[in-house]
Structure 1
Amino acid sequence: MSAVEPTGWRKSSRSAQQETCVEVGRVESGAAVRDSKTPDAGYFTTTADQWRLFVTAVKAGRFEG
């Protein structure tokens, strides 16, 4: 985890009606991601560029099965 705790946690709009939910928070270098059901279990961080690429891929439907 980073030395500075993430701020502004919010639940993903893509998982609003499902049990498998993620939350995204802000960190200086990009974004932090955690499981909303177990927020104390920790989180991982990404750079701003990595996060932008991931969001672009999600919006393009690259992860839909």
Structure 2
Amino acid sequence: MSDLPDAVWRKSTRSSGNGACVEVADLTKAIAIRDSKDPDGPTLTLPAPAFATLITRLKHNDPLARP
């Protein structure tokens, strides 16, 4: 079961229909991320500024944001 029972999860409008999606929940000062196929699985929680930096780097194809 999720460790964030009151979180309101949403998928990106850019999510594909192939099931390879993540969901995010705004926790006010942090953002939680989970695999949409495993809603009861683990979550990654980042401070809101770190999440914003990650998204910016991904949008600009920054190699620091990719494994």
TM-score between both structures, scaled by the size of structure 2: 0.71
Q: Percent of aligned pairs with the same residue?
A: 34
Q: Deviations over 1:17-50 (max 9, x none)?
A: 3321100001132200000001001211000110
Task: Go from structure 1 to structure 2 and tell me whether the alpha carbon gap of 1:6 and 1:33 turns closer, same or farther (over 3 Å shift).
Answer: farther
Structure 1: which 5+ residue stretches go unaligned?
Answer: none
Matching residue of 1:55 = 55
Higher helix share: 1
1:12-51 alignment runs, 5 A limit: 12-51=12-51
Count of aligned pairs between the two proteins: 62
Task: Go from structure 1 to structure 2 and tell me whether the alpha carbon gap of 1:45 and 1:51 turns closer, same or farther (over 3 Å shift).
Answer: same
